[in-house]
Homo-oligomer: A and B are copies of this chain.
Amino acid sequence: MATTGQAAGGRGDARLTERGIYTAALRLIDADGVGALSMRKLAGVLGVNPMSLYHHVPNKAALLRGVKNLVAAQFQPRVDGGTWQEQLGRFARDFRALAHRHPNLIVHSLGSPDFIEPEDPFWTGLTDILDSAGVPAAEVAPVGAVLTSLFSGFLLAEGNGALGRLAAMQPAPAKAASTAAAGVGADSDSSFEFAVQTLVAGLEARLS
């Protein structure tokens, strides 16, 4: 074991890597949330001194950005054919699937201003769809910004449980079990579909 006690902590990497740090941090975040992530715990998992991390990452904020970018890079929207409505729906679904894989990270990242970076495939994919929907070039960015904000709100609320709590609230005193017209259940999936269809329909109306 010599002097360095690296052991079996860091995925078998003897050397410390920026990438390795991010993936280890992601595992910790997935397990216990970003609130429970500390430089010391992360270093412990990697079998390394806390200060060693600072030779690969300038500070904790940058570490979180790095982790976020790591999972953001996994987002490959499939912008094949179909109407722009279908494309937008697929896009939203893909993004939500990614969010579901790392809910803790997403809930934290969506609250930060720098969530979306200029060159993200997310942003370019969205602007492409809006462009093909006929949104004037000068308005693609503002419209995309609004849609992103709204949709982020949904994912955030779904991720932290606020959506579920609200949806389960007082089903009105009078009649309780009348599953009537619009077709929205209290479960996450139908809430999601409702949100997407509302946004799409709203955009449709604003474009004609």
Contacts and interface: CB of A to CB of B under 8 A. Distances in A.
Contacts of A139: 180-182, 184
Interface stretch (A52-60, A75-83, A150-158): A150-158
A142 B185 contact: yes
A62 to B, nearest CB: 17
Nearest to A158: B149
Range for the number of chain A residues in contact with chain B: 35 or more
B156 A186 contact: no
B170 A118 contact: yes
Interface string A172-195: 101111111110111000110011
Contacts of A144: 166, 169
A25 to B, nearest CB: 20
B198 A203 contact: yes
Interface string A133-157: 0011111111111101111111011
A72 interface: no
Interface of A: 107, 110-116, 118, 123, 127, 131, 135-146, 148-154, 156-158, 160-172, 174-182, 184-186, 190-191, 194-195, 197-207
A141 B153 contact: no
**What are the 5 A-B residue pairs with the smallest beta carbon separation, nearest first?**
A153-B153, A202-B202, A136-B180, A149-B157, A145-B166
A172 B137 contact: yes
Max chain B Cβ within 10 angstroms of own Cβ: one of A107, A154, A179, A198: A198
Contact of A169 (B118, B138, B200): B118
A111 B149 contact: no
Given A138-B177, A182-B207, 15 more contacts: A113-B161, A113-B165, A116-B165, A123-B166, A135-B182, A138-B171, A141-B168, A145-B164, A145-B167, A148-B166, A153-B153, A156-B156, A197-B202, A198-B199, A204-B205
